[in-house]
Structure 1
Amino acid sequence: MGQSLVNDIDTIVGSGKAVISAEECSVVEIVKEAITSGKPASFYLTMDQAKEVKAWYWTPERIESANMTVVSDEEKSKIKSELDVEVHDFRFSRTKCANGHTYGGFEFLQQGIREHGLDAVKSIFDMKNSTFLQANPTFLMICPTCNEMLRGWGYYDCDRYGGCCKTM
């Protein structure tokens, strides 16, 4: 491990975040434990670690109960043209607010850009060597049309963006 990497880790830890290094199977178990505990945590995982966690978490039954579907080509095109974010295999559990407005992948990313900025959102989808996975995030969906806080939960997942795993 080079000095540059150690300096980067030092900066991250200095900002109040933890960095954990462990055997692959230990990391996967730590992520699973975080998910089942219901406590929120974010992980930057190797592709293999994320794949293992998601294979365990996203069972066919859970995908169905979360109403998770692949974002359509039309919505992907809208995300690219209006938000300037390239998504490929993005999945989201669409919902509607009490006034009937749809909240899907586009609205989720739009809200993410409002809250975190375009560069932050794009950087997550541009990662080449890792996957960002959120366990039990505290994200609250807000309808962009009427500003109503939506009930329920918007599940999301992507190969490059680990998405969320939440205690159901």
Structure 2
Amino acid sequence: MILSPLKIFPSAGHNNKDSGAVKNGYREADLTKEARNNIARRSKAEDLIMDEDWETNSQYQSRIKPGKGSVLLDIHFNSAASLASGTECYITATDFNNKNSLSYKMADEICKITAKVLRIPNRGVKSDNLSQHSRIGILHLGAGVSVLWEICFISNSKDMNSYQANKEELMKKVAEILKKYDERIL
């Protein structure tokens, strides 16, 4: 099945079978699903193709076929020592080496607005080959714009308190950014 290339793909980076990080009373899977759903609520439903909570990342990636006119956002929360703080985004090495790429520009906007709204450090845009994985598969599916977003540190109680207090405003602004980049590609 080939899907329309002119879509937005907000993805919870974790699912019912993969909880992701578990810290400070939070499960990353629950947070990422909530963030994805919050973004979806603020977007036109016909423009969205989302992962299902029961799907593994492999199942989701096999199902979707984002085209060059699409925008893909994979949502995560970081985890490290309790003092680690901030937001960051990952993009492909190719996009990272081209600061004019739409992926780089969207990732940069998302980092800046997240840091501003949550009042946390902006750790910046990074190449996926510098992540804990040598290559982040979902970023290489052929979408016109592909970004993996680490919202903040689930392991930092200050990051999480700010996220909980400001998540509605943040998701509204991120939904606007996704729509903007979807329309730029058209």
TM over 0.5: same fold?
no
The higher radius of gyration belongs to: 1
- Normalization by structure 2: what TM-score? 0.27
Richer in strand (by share): 2
